[in-house]
Every structure is written in structure tokens, then in C-alpha cells.
């Protein structure tokens, strides 16, 4: 794998910030790095069943993800973190993990193997922080950049991220990504599915400016320039400019967002696509904490196949457009998602249910509809142990095939 170097400007910023803070603090003991250090352990067992109305065999996957995180204390604002993951297949591999050659089964994208999930140096100072190395990056609601924490192998990023807070409410973020470590890792092999590399090389720049005006209004402007050399022959490389407004007014939460996208970093397609979001929700305290939410999200497409639809290749996509993950890549005709649902506390846990209606943005096709339901709660009498039952059903009309997915999960954290 090609070795890459981070932009020198990031290291210059780190050195400058260190010099400033060092001149204003008293001497600290180097031993604080390990005296205040922490070790965290996490284990997540999951059973996933996939039933699709096609020629593929039903998938039944059992896996155990084990994670250990070593976090140092701080010394003059400096700290370090190392985190290792290992995904272990339990029982038969009666599923296609995109690496095991079991292409006769439906996909459960949880390849087994071990990997360094994070390895970073962090510097905190009075007006922000700088992080260099392999790290987790979740920006805003993760619609454009996220860690895909739902999958057993999390998506992390090699690069540098700095946040600067010049005054209360304002956060300026800049990130440089040299490599994306995808959910399809840790390694490629001869069974690797096309378009699903374990690692994506390239040069990506993330710029995000957020200002919390009041509880009623947060304004976020962003520009994400994604150079993804190893993904779909660069057809996922893009430059996206957007504006997001969200807040709470008279108990009603809302979000309104617009973004435009064009080709970038050698993308052979001509992209001129937009993104729209309108969403509102309300929590009824006198009804036991019932929360209801509805929204309308549009990712535009184009009839001309030489042009590209609006894509979000680094998003935590499982959080959007239904849990069945039918729309991980936006269709050429785009997609309109009208959704509503909510959650309510129940028997010591939380029950949630959602409905989605999917249609083409260009043309009159009705793709299908989806129903999602989940219940999660802590296990009584066992500290730090939680359970989750989750189900998704996509009923296809003009796109994809009928798909049902079921998850059973236990997670223990220490």
C-alpha cells in the first residue's frame, strides 16, 4: 500500500499551538500521561439474518467484535490514543462478507480479522484541538462524513483534524484525509467485491463552520472536497457545498439543509446535483416521552448517464434512507425519501418505528417503501450489558428486490 504524508501545514499548526500553550502553563509531570490513562474494553455479539427476493441464499451471520482502547492522560495538552478491533466469525460463514467468496449468499458486510481502529496524537489548548493520525471523524449528523459505527468494522480516517473555537458558539473545523479505512477491511483479497475496497487512498479536505446562535438556531456551513482515488474509478470523488439550519422552537425540533455537488479530483462524470432536507419533530412529555418526527430528503439524479447523481460516499448511511440499506449508492434517477416515525420509552428501554416512501427524483418511478422497528435496553442486574432487537422490511416496486433484515445484538462495555 502506498505510503502517504500529511500536509505540512497541519504540523506547522500543531507546533505553533504547542508553543503558545507551553509559554502559558506551569510545569506538569510527564508521568500524568500514564497516571491518568484509561483502558476501555468492549465486546459486541451480533446475529444478522438477510432474506431477499432473488436467487441468493438467505444469509445468517454471527460475529463477535472485540475492542480495546488505550487512552493516556494529558501532558501540556498532549495525549495519545490507540484502539484495536477484532471481528471473529462464529459458526459457519453462511453469508457473503464481501471477502469470503460466499457469493451465493446475501451480503452481511462484516469481514472477520483484526485492525488498528485508531492510533492518534491529540493536542488540546484553550481555543481548540488538533488530532493527527488514524481517527474517528463524525461531522454534524454524519450525513456526509461519519464512522459507520453500526457495522462491526468501523470506518476510520488517516489524516489530521483541527478545531478552532474563537468565541462562544463558534467552531471552525478543518480536516485532511489521506486514507479512508472502510467497513470492508481490514484487508483486500482475491474475493474482494468490486467497488468495496478495504482502504481508499486520495486527498480529501473537510471544512466546516458551525455557529450556535441560540437554542433556536444553529447555522452550519460546509465544503467537503473528497478525492477518493480507489473508489468506483473516481466516480465518487466530489466537491460539496452546503448550509444547514437546525434548532428547537417552542418544543419543536427542526432541520433544514441544502447542498450542491460537483465533480472533483478526476471524476470522469459531470456532476451538477443538489440535496434538500426538511425535518421536524416533537416530544410529548405528557404521553410518556413519545417522540414523533417526519421529514423529506432529496438526493437529485439525472436522466443523462454521463452525469452523476448526488452521492454521500463517506456518510454513516445506515442512519438514513432505511435500515435495509437499499440506497447505499444513489440511483441514477436520484431518490426522494418521505419518512415519519418516532420512539417511546418502554419497559426500561426504548422502542422506535419508522416508515419510508422512496421515489425517483427524476421521472415517475416509485421505488418502494420500508418499515423499520427496533427495541433496545440495558439488561437488568448485569452492569454495562445491553441488548437490541432490530428489524427492517423493504417492499420493492420499481427498484431493488423485497428485502428483510433481522438483527439480535448483545454489547458489553467496561
pLDDT bucket at 191, cuts 50 / 70 / 90: confident
pLDDT bucket at 6, cuts 50 / 70 / 90: very low
pLDDT tens-place string over residues 274-318: 999 999 999 999 999 999 999 999 999 999 999 999 999 999 999
pLDDT of residue 23: 43
| DSSP 8-state class, residue 287 | G
Q: Residue 17: in which H helix or E strand, if any?
A: helix 8-22
CA dist., res. 178 & res. 228, Å (int): 9
CA dist., res. 403 & res. 58, Å (int): 10
Range 333-362 average pLDDT: 98
CA dist., res. 135 & res. 148, Å (int): 13
Range 62-73 average pLDDT: 97
Q: Residue 82: in which H helix or E strand, if any?
A: strand 78-89
Q: Residue 16: in which H helix or E strand, if any?
A: helix 8-22
User: Exposed (0-12), middle (13-18) or buried (19+): which is 236, by Cβ within 10 Å?
Assistant: buried
pLDDT bucket at 34, cuts 50 / 70 / 90: confident
pLDDT tens-place string over residues 12-30: 444 444 444 444 444 578 8
Which residue in 135, 134, 160, 199 sits closest to 7, CA to CA?
A: 160
Cell 467484535, residue located: 65
CA dist., res. 319 & res. 312, Å (int): 12
Q: Residue 33: in which H helix or E strand, if any?
A: helix 32-35
Cell of 237: 470523488
User: Exposed (0-12), middle (13-18) or buried (19+): which is 344, by Cβ within 10 Å?
Assistant: middle
Cis omega (within 30 of 0) for bond into 106: no
pLDDT of residue 21: 46
Alpha-carbon distances, residue 110 vs 147, 185, 190, 209 (angstroms) = 14, 9, 17, 34
Q: Are 369 and 355 in contact (CB under 8 A)?
A: yes
pLDDT of residue 27: 58
% residues pLDDT > 90 (the chain): 87
% residues pLDDT > 70 (the chain): 93
CA dist., res. 100 & res. 190, Å (int): 9
Report the SS3 class of residue 29. Answer: coil
CA dist., res. 168 & res. 398, Å (int): 49
What dihedral angle (degrees, nearest 10) is formed by the CA atoms of 131, 134, 135, 136? Answer: 150
pLDDT of residue 376: 98
Residues 385, 390, 393: CA angle, nearest 5 degrees = 170
Amino acid at each position: 500500500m502506498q505510503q502517504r504524508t500529511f500536509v505540512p501545514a497541519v504540523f506547522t499548526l500543531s507546533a505553533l499551538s504547542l508553543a503558545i500553550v507551553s509559554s502559558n502553563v506551569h510545569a506538569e509531570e510527564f508521568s500524568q500521561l500514564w497516571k491518568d490513562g484509561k483502558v476501555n474494553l468492549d465486546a459486541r455479539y451480533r446475529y444478522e439474518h438477510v432474506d431477499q427476493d432473488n436467487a441468493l441464499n438467505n444469509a445468517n451471520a454471527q460475529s463477535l467484535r472485540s475492542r480495546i482502547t488505550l487512552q493516556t492522560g494529558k501532558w501540556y495538552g498532549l495525549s495519545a490514543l490507540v484502539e484495536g478491533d477484532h471481528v471473529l466469525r462464529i459458526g459457519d460463514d453462511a453469508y457473503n462478507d464481501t471477502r469470503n467468496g460466499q457469493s451465493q449468499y446475501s451480503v452481511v458486510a462484516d469481514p472477520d480479522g483484526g485492525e488498528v481502529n485508531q492510533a492518534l496524537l491529540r493536542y488540546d489548548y484553550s481555543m481548540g484541538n488538533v488530532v493527527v493520525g488514524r481517527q474517528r471523524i463524525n461531522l454534524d449528523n454524519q450525513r456526509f462524513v461519519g464512522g459507520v459505527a453500526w457495522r462491526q468494522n468501523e470506518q476510520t480516517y488517516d489524516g489530521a483534524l483541527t478545531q478552532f473555537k474563537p468565541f462562544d458558539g463558534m467552531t471552525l473545523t478543518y480536516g485532511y484525509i489521506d486514507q479512508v479505512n472502510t467497513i470492508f477491511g481490514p484487508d483486500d483479497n482475491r474475493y474482494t467485491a468490486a467497488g468495496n475496497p478495504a482502504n481508499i487512498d486520495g486527498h480529501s479536505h473537510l471544512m466546516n463552520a458551525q455557529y450556535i446562535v441560540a437554542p433556536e438556531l444553529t447555522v452550519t456551513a460546509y465544503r467537503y472536497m473528497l478525492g477518493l482515488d480507489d473508489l468506483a474509478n473516481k466516480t465518487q470523488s466530489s466537491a460539496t457545498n452546503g448550509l444547514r439550519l437546525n434548532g428547537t422552537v417552542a418544543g419543536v425540533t427542526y432541520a433544514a439543509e441544502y447542498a450542491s455537488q460537483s465533480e472533483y479530483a478526476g471524476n470522469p462524470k459531470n456532476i451538477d446535483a443538489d440535496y434538500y432536507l426538511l425535518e421536524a419533530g416533537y416530544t410529548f412529555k405528557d404521553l410518556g416521552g413519545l417522540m414523533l418526527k417526519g421529514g423529506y430528503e432529496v438526493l437529485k439524479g439525472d436522466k443523462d448517464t454521463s452525469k452523476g447523481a448526488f452521492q454521500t460516499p463517506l456518510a454513516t448511511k445506515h442512519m438514513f434512507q432505511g435500515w435495509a440499506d437499499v440506497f447505499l449508492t444513489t440511483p441514477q434517477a436520484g431518490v426522494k425519501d418521505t419518512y415519519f416515525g418516532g420512539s417511546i420509552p418502554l419497559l426500561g428501554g426504548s422502542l422506535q418505528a419508522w416508515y419510508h416512501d422512496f421515489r425517483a427524483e427524476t421521472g415517475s418511478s416509485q421505488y418502494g417503501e420500508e418499515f423499520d422497528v427496533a427495541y433496545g435496553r440495558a439488561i437488568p442486574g448485569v452492569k454495562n450489558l445491553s441488548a437490541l432487537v432490530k428489524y427492517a422490511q423493504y417492499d420493492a416496486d420499481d427498484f431493488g428486490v423485497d428485502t428483510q433484515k433481522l438483527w439480535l445484538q448483545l454489547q458489553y462495555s467496561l
